[in-house]
Structure formats: structure tokens, C-alpha cells
Amino acid sequence: MVHKIIIAFVILTPLVLSSVINNNVEKCNLSYSIKKEIESYKGFATKIINSVNNQFKHSTYNHLDDFINAYGNRIAGSKNLENAIDYILKKSDLYNLENVHGEEVQVPHWVRGEESATLLYPRYKDLPMLGLGSSVGTPPEGIRAKAVVVSSFDELHKLSKTVKGKIVVYNEKYRNYGDTVVYRRDGASIASQYGAVATLIGSITPFSLATAHTGWQQYAENITKIPTACITKEDANLLHGMYKRRKPIYIEIKMEARTLTSATSRNIVAEIVGNKLPDKVVVISGHIDSWDVGEGAIDDGVGAFVSWNALAILKALGLTARRTIRTILWTAEEEGYIGAFAYAKAHQNETRNLDFVMESDTGTFSPLGFTYSGLPEVGCILQEILNLFTELNITNVQSPIDGGPDISKWVSDGVPGAALFGNLERYFWYHHSAADTMVAVQPDELDQATALWAATSFIIANLSFDMPKHLTPYQFKENDV
């Protein structure tokens, strides 16, 4: 997976949200009949909220807790991920979901192995670290080298002549995820150009209690692949302090990381088939894979289980909409949206039938509403729908979509799409770290997100009109994925 995808990710996930249309509903030109039609779902929305708060109270949390307890983290290529996928498929049948199946896709299989980083001089200190996905390992005896510490790529460029044979440490400042994650993604490639032998990068998080955060990295073409890992923000800061005091810094890094041959995984699909327009589809989704540390509870256990349980609840309530509601749990999101892009490609001829696509992959912390992309009318329709959720305080509609990596291909093709919008700051505290466990998950917040997901997907799937869209035909090129 090439640069393009990662660039798409960065473009689609600027955490600076613009063109807020909340409170600007008066600028919307929805017809009286459309407004009336959506308002007529007030009773339905209340019914879903009440069901989730009573009959199904904490059911999303409890399902997720069982699942996480049994499987833990689920990295692409692992047998454990496939076992976890089998479990969801089996449970989906048990809940009488329709057209339940897995769709095969080839995924990368990177394994971490044993790894360590140690500060040897000016004083001895273990440096907790996590190797980055796709990183090469070190020779068995490790790499021992002097370190250069910088706070930005600009600083590295200025010091480029001093970098050869050294370990480059980045102590970058966190701005927002999209702007900061470039250090994790490109840090090794940029340092390698100047002859660095390894890179250690301050973890990409706005807040730290000395945890390292992993994630994908991307070697540029034609550079020497050097081992690369994230260390804690605390240690990045410490090393920077030593460097500024002109202390010679020596570090030893040992990593067994390697990439095995690619493996077969599956996207999980389950539906409630529409009773009037079965070929037209509303998608609700999250990813089933995770990193290989922590438990993959918030990234993206919550998004996957909200999308799955919302469908199971609609089914249990005997609700069938005019259009099909399809839950998709993507595989290999963490390696660059591999499952999602393969699915979009395999189903390219159905893109025009996608009425609306939704994704939750930024946690369920304090659900506030939606970020969306699409024609302005889409925002107006979402705002009308959220008017049915005032009792949950879920009323925000903002554009563009922020944090919908797996639906990004469709959204860039003009399919209207939305992501769950909540407290991103809290999400990135835990993201890709050993702290991504059920302790970070709030059962009530999962209920709110589940109610929103179930009611919104049903209402959109049941409207008398399709979501407005302007498709931009896109031809897949082989090197896209």
C-alpha cells in the first residue's frame, strides 16, 4: 500500500473540523415534506433509545467484554484474528442476521517478536518501546549507536550532516493526530536518507502516562529500511533534554520484527435485507482487527460492536427497512485499510447503490453527533435526524468527515458518508497502546452510540427518497491497494 492511501488518511483525518453547520439549520433548504417525514420518526427514535436503555442495556458492552476477554488483540495475519472472525460469524447466525458471510482478502502479516531499547550513556535506563508495523528488525546482537535528538523534520534537515551512523530520536510536539502521525509514518524514511541506522519516535498521543503507542509506518521507495519504534513521550523528552545539554547519548535497540508472507483474512458482512429496495444499501461499519498490544477494545472493538449490535438489536425488534442495512466489520484496517479497499474494489459495480455509509473508528467517548462528507443537503438531513436525539445531547453535525478511514474510498467517490463524532482527545490517550483495554470503555457511552447507529441507519434506509449524492466515477488502479 502506497503513499496515496496514507495521504488520503491524512487528508481525511484532519482533526481541525471546519464548516460547522450545527446551529445553521436555517440555511438548509429541505422541503417541508422531507422535514415532516424525518420528524415522523420521533416515536421510532424514542423507541430505539428506550430499548437500548432497558431491554438491551449495556448489551454492546457485554458482548464486547465477552469477545475481548476471549480473544484479546487481533493483528492482521494472525490465527487469533481469524478465530475472532469465526466467532462473530457464528454469533451473527445465532442472532438471525441475514447474508452472514466473510469475504476473503490478502493481508500483510507483520510480527513484532522480542524487542527492547536501552539508554546506555550518559546513564543506564530501560526505554519502553513498541516497534512500528512493517518495521524491519535489527541484527540479533542489536544496534548500538550514538543518538541525535530533534523536535521536527526541519531540525533534522538542518542536522543532516551529523546523522550518518546514528539513531535519530524525534521528540515532536503533538498538535493533532493527522499533523503529528507523519513522524511515525515517515520518520524512518526521512532519517534513513541521511544515513541514520534506526529511529525512535515519541509516541503519537496528546497525553501520556509513560505508555508507548505503536502504529503503521511506511518506508519510502529506494531507501535503506531501518528499524523504527515509538518510545514514550516522557523518554523522548528526557533524551532531548540530554541532547540539549550536549551529553553524548548512546542507545542500544534490539528488535526481532519481521514481515512474513501475506495471509488470508476476511471482512465480515451481515445484513437486514430491505423489504422494498433490497439492492440499495446503508452501511454501518468498524474494523475487527487491531494492533498486537493492549486488547483492541477502543480501536476498534467499540466501533465494530456498535455496528454489529445495532443490527442485532434492529433484528431482535423485528424491524426491516425499505433499503438493506449492512454491517461490515473490516479487516486489516491498521495496515492501511486493506480490507475496506479490497471490498470497495470487489464491489465497485455496487457503489452507485450505496445510499449512505457510516463508520465508527475514533472511539465512543462522549458521542456528540456526526462528521460527514457529501452534498450540503446530507448535512441538513443528518441535522434533522439528530433533532430526534436531543434527549441524548447528540446534536452535532460537522463537515468534512473526520475519522472514517475504511469508508474513505467510497466517500472520495462521492458516496455520502458519516463518522461517529465524539471526544477524540480521550481516544488518543489509549490508541495503539497497552492501555487500549475494557477499562477505557464506558457502557453507557456504548449504549448511546448504539442507539444512534441503529436509529440513524434505519431511518436513512427507510426514507422515501435516496440520500442526495453526486458520484465521481473512479477507476481502481492496481497499485492503489
Ligand X SMILES: *[C@@H]1O[C@H](CO)[C@@H](O)[C@H](O)[C@H]1NC(C)=O
Write out the residues near ligand X by the rule CB under 6 A. 27-29, 41, 44, 221-222, 322, 349-350, 353, 376-377, 380, 392-393, 462, 464
Q: From Zn ion, ligand X, none, which one binds at residue 376 (CB under 5 to 8 Å depending on kind)?
A: ligand X
* Residue of 333, 334, 359, 445 with catalytic role: 333
Which residues, at least 6 apart from 90, have a Cβ–Cβ distance to it below 8 Å? none
Q: Which residue in 252, 271, 300, 384 binds Zn ion (CB under 5 A)?
A: 300
Tell me whether residue 54 or residue 222 sits nearer to ligand X (CB atom).
222
Residue 172 interacting with Zn ion (CB under 5 A): no
Q: Which residue in 271, 292, 299, 359 binds Zn ion (CB under 5 A)?
A: 299
- Mark the segment that binds Zn ion (CB under 5 A) among 148-156, 182-190, 300-308, 335-343: 300-308
Residue in 15, 8, 5, 4 with CA at minimum distance from that of residue 431: 15
CB of 299 to Zn ion, least distance (A): 4
Structural contact between residues 355 and 281, judged by C-beta atoms closer than 8 angstroms: yes
Q: From ligand X, Zn ion, none, which one binds at residue 28 (CB under 5 to 8 Å depending on kind)?
A: ligand X
DSSP 8-state symbol, 165: T
Q: Which residue in 172, 361, 402, 436 binds Zn ion (CB under 5 A)?
A: 361
* Cα separation, 41 vs 382, whole angstroms: 13
Our CA dihedral for 59, 64, 66, 68, rounded to 10 degrees, sits at -170
Tell me whether residue 54 or residue 349 sits nearer to ligand X (CB atom).
349
Tell me whether residue 41 or residue 291 sits nearer to Zn ion (CB atom).
291
Tell me whether residue 251 or residue 325 sits nearer to ligand X (CB atom).
325
Q: Is 82 a catalytic residue?
A: no
β-bridge mates for residue 125, sequence order: 119
CB of 462 to ligand X, least distance (A): 4
CB of 403 to ligand X, least distance (A): 21
Please count the other Cβ atoms lying within 10 Å of the Cβ belonging to residue 360. 30
Q: From its phi and psi, is residue 296 left (phi > 0), alpha (psi between -120 and 50) or beta?
A: left
Q: From ligand X, Zn ion, none, which one binds at residue 322 (CB under 5 to 8 Å depending on kind)?
A: ligand X
Which residues, at least 6 apart from 399, have a Cβ–Cβ distance to it below 8 Å? 18, 19, 21, 371, 372, 373, 379
CB of 453 to ligand X, least distance (A): 16
Structural contact between residues 345 and 406, judged by C-beta atoms closer than 8 angstroms: no
Burial code (b: 16+ CB inside 10 Å, e: under 16) for 368-377 equals bbbbbbbeeb
CB of 249 to ligand X, least distance (A): 32
Tell me whether residue 239 or residue 381 sits nearer to ligand X (CB atom).
381
* Cα separation, 446 vs 241, whole angstroms: 41
Residues tagged active-site: 333
Which residues bind to Zn ion, rule: CB under 5 A? 299-300, 361
